Amino acid sequence: MKAFVIVMLLAGVAAAQERIQPEIIENKPDQTQWRIEVFYDQGWIGAKGVEPDGRHIGLGWTRDRVVDGSVLVLRRKLVPGEVTDKGHPLRIVDQNGSRLSEKFLGRGPTIDAATTPLAPGTVVGDWTVVASSDGDHPELITDEVEPNTSYIYVLAPALRGTPPDTYVAFPGDAIQTWPLRAHTAWFNRRRWMHLALIGLIAAALGGYTWLAKRKTLFVRRLAGVDAIENAVGRSTEMGRPVLYVTGVEETQDIQTIASLLILGHVAKITAEYDTDLRVANAYPLTMVIAEEVVRQGYANAGRADAHRPENIMFITSEQFAFAAGVNGMILRERPATNIFFGRFYGESLMLAETGFLAGAIQIAGTAELTQLPFFVSACDFTLLGEELFACSAYLTREPNQLALLKAGDVLKVVIALLVVGFTVCATLASQGWYPFTRFSIEDVMP
Amino acid sequence: MTPALGPVDLLGAWIAIFLTMAILSFLYGDNPFYKLAEHLFIGVSIGYIVVVQIKNNLWVKLERPLSPWDLVPAILIAMMFVKLASRKLAWLGRFPLAVVVALYAGQSVTGLVGSDLGDQIKTASRSLIVDKIDLNSAPPGELSQVPGVSPAIAAKLVIERTARPFTSLDDALSRPSLTASERADLADERGLLVGTEARAATESNRVDWFGVASGVLLLVALLTGLLYFYFSIAHTGVLGRASRVGVWILMVGFGASFGYTVQGRIALAIARAQDIRGTFVSPADAAQIHGEVAAIVSSVIIVAGIWIWERRRAGVAAPGEAS
Amino acid sequence: MKNTAPVLLGMVVGCYMVVEYFIPHYAVRDVSAHVLQWGGLVAAAAYVMGGINLVQVTWPKIRRREQDWGYKVVLLASAAIMMLVGLPWRALIGVRAPGYAWKLAPSPELARRHEARVLVEAPDDVIVAIGTATARDNVVAPGEVAIKASRRPIGYDAFETKLVLAPGDVAIVAADPQMQWGASGRVRTWIYDYVFAPCNATMFALLAFFVASAAFRAFRARNIEAALLLGSAIIVLLAQAPIGRWLTTSLPHLSDWILDILSNGSRRAIIMGAAVGAIATGLRVILGIERSHLGGD
Amino acid sequence: MHWSDRLQRFDRRWIFLIMALAIVIPLYVPIGLPIKARPMTKAAFNAVEELHAGDVVLVSMDLDPASTAELEPYYRAVMLQLKRKGVKLVFATLWYQAPPLVARWLRETVDVAIAPPGTPGYEGLPDRAYVRNQDYVYLGFREGKQNIILGMGANLPGVFGGKTDDGTPFADIPWLRNIHGLGDFKLMVLVSAGAPGAKEYVQFAQNRYDLRMVAVTTAVSVTDLAPYYQAGQLLGIVAGLAGSAEYEVMVGKPSIGVQGADVLNAGHGVVIIAIVLGNLAYFASRRRKK
């Protein structure tokens, strides 16, 4: 049975978008028409397609007269200098058997597909098995290939044998595509929404930074922030030090950064009150920075001389050894104020509890939510999650910080609108209202 | 046949139990045994970290084929260590720092936008109308969403319904091909609110009203939560009340968090007890180690030690924990 | 220079990490694979730095005989020991072969019975498997036999070989797998198993007790928020233990519902808010606006 | 002194003692209430059940000795499940505390059969001893948190220099040749005790490479990860000891986890009673002060 092939090429845009007229190679009646879709890229909307990284080709096909039985997909590199600009039918077995012909395989001995399993990845002669499908496969088969290499694919109708990946017969002709080469692109269309969100954040950030320098931006009062100063005052009266823990994460951690920013402010206050400030760090890098920050804080208070570097300590990076070390400090030096800002894990309870029993005023703040219940329970003031970041802005009143906070607020509004909007669409769609049924959030946010 | 534990490992097991007790003695109060274990532990962990980092990262890197790209980290690391040599050049240490921080910052920008914004917005924007799963038409994948229905059961249901459509839930869940234990599982999940009755039906387009209510609540929780963390408006009037609802829901959530966390903590203590009992080693070894004996002996030593130590520093403040 | 140059370098790297996410091109992917390793390598070196730093901090305390200096000695000593045993000493002291196997003169008596024999010379604590047999004197069927000699604890060499035995062959296996040093050596594993692991686990286990006392002494329904927190905490606690289902099957359902709806809803709000904050801060870092991590200028 | 004040003042070390007894006694006198799997656990179980023999699965062992209490029962159960399915296993870890622990666990659970034929009290399929660098590989530990995760996503062999922990080249292991990045794993089993762990895998790899993964986490992180489960980014979550026990029951070989979960009854009981009593005392004294 002769067949003819239609290879539909989609120049970098997904099926839904623009379709190049199918090119007819031969046209004889009473023949199966193959319509092969080749995907090199993905669209701005819609989930179908492959990432254009130069390593992936998407293959899907339908046949207009439905033929039962499976289809075996094979691939080979284009031989240099070989010219096959057209797809065409070809036979891969000699006569109605299951032994792949030498002519087809190119090199190597012939192989009997009935006995040799052809699992994906198997190499037979020049060819590599890509996949097999029972019947047509309109969904994409994504094939991983080498970049800058042309490949020829063959789709062979086949009848499966009983052992897995074996084939007892290859009825009719196989279809050979013309050379295909994975495309490379410089932008991943599926991620435009992500880019938009980042852009929005950047814009809001920039806008408010500009604004913050010109007018004072309103920030709602944060309970617990003002507590810091009172607490430091109390420590001064009691003549006991203030303990500041920068969390148990590394410097790169956003929360550690926020903590270090607040530390600068706290250092300034302690310098003004002339109270000892002890800083416990879980990472050497953090310690180095904390020392810089505290020195700066003392300098801002005009008491650079009072800064004692040995008060900024690196305990150990081992989480529980760290907790034990700090607990030791709390019990031995009995600070009147413990401030835990940054990221905390299991040790949060150990610290807060020990401090609670040592009768210190405790102020905690972390975005590590699993620890918040314990801080809430055992500390006098707790900054919940994002309030930690808000706190540094609220304290420093520093334009950049405020801008950060405001940008966050803008985005919250946007998110709320997006969620509400999409929810309405989804709900209407679920009730079969027309325009909405055609639309899904998956299309814009894969 | 595995040979018995050698004396070295027996000693080790006893040391381990002694250290366990020594650290637990912190519960009585800060004391020399705890401090000893603490410092031993800190020391060992430092020694451990340094070697493991060198061996598993720096050394293997050198062992395996290098590329010109590896020059960059080499230089950065060199810059970091300069500060040991000269205080004047210590500022060079800022380069590796800047690079590492920037790496993490860049990654979190792109990582979070996808998983914590994109996917979360997507999940939050589900249809509020939830239809019950129709046992007579739903595909197997959807069937296994029904409480108590495993993929295996789903497959059976598909066969059963082609033989004879289900007339009622009871009919569906009591078909002969289901084993006794499967029936027990299913029976266990029956319920009007979140159970089988709520999630599944034998006709299509039946609305799961509790599901709808939950969906609405989920949305409310999200929006009020966002409002609570909205810092640009004073929380007064309607907004104030809304954000208060938000913080209430937040607190219920924290309650759940508390519950799970406590479970975790208690699990750890349980494991220590199991460990002393020898649950994690073969019965033969456990019989050799005599964990309970070791624990009692250690406790006696520690108690005696603490007693003597407290007598020594009589007059000085009682142990910190007692305060 | 001292402040700007690092920031500029950071900006380049950071911006690359962001842009890279949107460029699918394989060439960029290959570059990223390299860049990504830098972070790990530098971080690893930073840990070594930390070790040195610890000595720098601790040593003066010992010299000045500060309070608890004795413990500091313990600390340094244990650190030093853990590092020393982590060195690959065998590079110096040399490696001895874990074992040998050779054949003796065949015994006609065995040959008649169409059997072969493998004798084992090894210390008692060495497990020697001749095929499946683990005796010291094994009569085995002729043919290829796998021989494996090892010690039970982790951190020892293993001796593996194959012998082809003809009928009547008598073979001797002499095995004494040597102890390994270095990061995964015997001594280090021993210290890890019997000092590091129990301390690490017990430190964490202390929390179970602190939780109990916090619950008793600090956890108060002072206001409606705290009351709500406590209420759901108790429900979840009950539901998480088998006793919950035993009381009523609706308890687990209720607790799951709290998790799925109330907890997830509010948690998602926090996750999104935090993500925005993190992204914004990240942007500030890679745009060089945020330099606090490099210390004040 | 009024009882409520006394109740609030008494030495907390008594509570510690009560807690200790609540933990030790049930170990010797088990309560033995039945355990049933919850939806999240079932989801995790089913995700593994869908695997076929020969599939390649990544097991990321991001834990330390402190978290074994909650993760070890699941680990042992899921190993039995994976091995009796006959899947190929790739082990790696992002935690520097892990390597010696992983080495021991591999020895105890992978190099030998967990449930050989005729294991008492086990009806399921038996598993077999896996051979290193043939049925499974151990890639070792790399420092770098999400750098490593992203690196494994982009180019897994690159991160590990093309060699396993014991220096065997990837090229020598046929089924490893098709593994270029995280995307090539049929499933990822995250044995995750904190950060870096399941959350980082979700944030930096799942969305990017659209991965299938299940996680066992310390109970602490459950509420943190639940939203990702709801969003389908995690196919299942096993919640600490209770979850692990449920998993053991599902796999059909109840052991340490079930024993431990039984003790949870008493432990949780103590905490609940402590909360209730503490608050009674608090309100009583407050009413008296009014």
Q: Go through chain B and tell me how many residues it has.
A: 323
Bridge-partner residues for A137, per DSSP? Answer: A61
A215, A220, A369: best to mutate for the B interface, most B CBs within 10 A:
A220
Nearest Cα neighbor of B265 from D34, C231, D222, A349 is: A349
DSSP state of C194: I
> Which residues of chain B make contact with A442, given a CB cutoff of 8 A?
122
Tens digit of pLDDT for each residue in D65-101?
Answer: 989 999 999 999 999 999 999 999 999 999 999 999 9
DSSP state of A233: H
**pLDDT bucket at A278, cuts 50 / 70 / 90:** very high
Question: What CA dihedral angle connects D196, D198, D199 and D203, to 10 degrees?
Answer: 100
HEC per residue, chain D: CCHHHHHHHCCHHHHHHHHHHHHHHHHHCCCCCCCCCCHHHHHHHHHHHCCCCCCEEEEEEECCHHHHHHHHHHHHHHHHHHHHHCCEEEEEECCCCCHHHHHHHHHHHHCCCCCCCCCCCCCCCCCCCCCECCCEEEEEECCCCHHHHHHHHHHHHHHCCCECCCCCEHHHCHHHCCCCCHHHCCEEEEEECCCCCHHHHHHHHHHHHCCCEEEEECHHHHHHHHHHHHCCCCCEEEEHHHHHHHHHHHHCCCCHHHHHHHHHHHHHHHHHHHHHHHHHHHHHHHHHHC
Tell me the mean pLDDT in the region B85-114. 89
**pLDDT bucket at B322, cuts 50 / 70 / 90:** very low
Nearest Cα neighbor of A333 from A319, A318, A313 is: A313
Distance CA B221, CA D20 (A): 39
> Which residues of chain D make contact with C209, given a CB cutoff of 8 A?
15-16, 19-20
Residue of chain B nearest A191, judged by CA positions = B114
Q: Say whether B81 and C49 touch across the interface (CB within 8 A).
A: yes
- Does D13 reach chain A within 8 Å, measured CB to CB? no
Amino acid at D118: G
Tell me the mean pLDDT in the region B95-112. 91
Q: What is the pLDDT of residue A317?
A: 67
The domain A217-397 is placed in CATH, from the list 3.30.450, 3.40.50, 3.30.310, 1.10.3470, at 3.40.50
CB atoms closer than 10 angstroms to residue D158: 19
Distance CA B70, CA B68 (A): 5
Residue of chain C nearest D16, judged by CA positions = C209
Give start-end residues of each CATH 3.40.50 domain in chain A.
217-397
Which member of B26, B42, B129 has the closest CB to residue A430?
B129
Q: A92: helix, coil or strand? A: coil
Q: Say whether B117 and C47 touch across the interface (CB within 8 A).
A: no
Tens digit of pLDDT for each residue in A210-253?
Answer: 998 888 888 887 777 778 889 999 999 999 999 999 999 888 67
Structure tokens at A169: 């017969």
Q: Which domains does chain D have, with CATH numbers?
A: 36-257 (3.40.50.10160)
Structure tokens at B166: 């289900």
- Does C216 reach chain D within 8 Å, measured CB to CB? yes
Contacts (Cβ under 8 Å, ≥6 apart) of B34: B22, B23, B25, B26
Contacts (Cβ under 8 Å, ≥6 apart) of D121: D253, D254
Nearest Cα neighbor of B114 from C19, C16, D145, D208 is: D208
Structure ipTM: 0.89
> Which residues of chain B make contact with C87, given a CB cutoff of 8 A?
51
Scan for tokens 């090539």, then name that residue.
Answer: D184
**pLDDT bucket at A30, cuts 50 / 70 / 90:** low
**pLDDT bucket at A10, cuts 50 / 70 / 90:** very low
Contact B135, B161 (CB under 8 A): yes
Is residue A19's pLDDT more than 60? no
B289 vs B147, more confident: B289
Structure tokens at C209: 């007790």
Structure tokens at A12: 């970098």
Is residue A21's pLDDT more than 50? no
Distance CA D80, CA D109 (A): 8
Please give the C-alpha separations between residue D272 and each of B258, C150, C219, D269, in angstroms, as whole numbers: 12, 51, 11, 5
pTM equals: 0.88
A345, A353, A377: best to mutate for the D interface, most D CBs within 10 A:
A345
Strands C126-130, C143-151: parallel, antiparallel or unpaired by DSSP?
Answer: antiparallel
Amino acid at B295: A
- Does B42 reach chain A within 8 Å, measured CB to CB? yes
> Which residues of chain C make contact with D282, given a CB cutoff of 8 A?
220-221
Residue of chain B nearest A359, judged by CA positions = B323
Q: Say whether A369 and D66 touch across the interface (CB within 8 A).
A: no
Is residue B223's pLDDT more than 60? yes
How far from chain centre, in Å, is Cα A343?
21
**pLDDT bucket at A41, cuts 50 / 70 / 90:** confident
Tell me the mean pLDDT in the region B151-171. 86
Tell me the mean pLDDT in the region B60-64. 83
Which member of C23, C43, C284 has the closest CB to residue A186?
C23
Element (H, E) at C104: strand C99-104
Which member of C226, C233, C270 has the closest CB to residue A369?
C270
Contact B243, C242 (CB under 8 A): no
**pLDDT bucket at B76, cuts 50 / 70 / 90:** very high
- Does C27 reach chain B within 8 Å, measured CB to CB? no
Element (H, E) at C70: helix C69-84
Q: A399: helix, coil or strand? A: helix
For the ranges A18-32, A384-398, D171-185, the one whose mean pLDDT is highest: D171-185
Contact D56, D139 (CB under 8 A): no
Contact D81, D44 (CB under 8 A): no
Nearest Cα neighbor of A195 from B268, D7, C279, B274 is: C279
Q: What angle in degrees, to the nearest 10, is found between the helix axes of C250-257 and C224-240?
A: 130
Distance CA B57, CA A134 (A): 47
Q: Say whether D240 and B263 touch across the interface (CB within 8 A).
A: yes
Q: What is the pLDDT of residue A85?
A: 66
Q: Say whether D195 and A345 touch across the interface (CB within 8 A).
A: yes
Q: B283: helix, coil or strand? A: helix
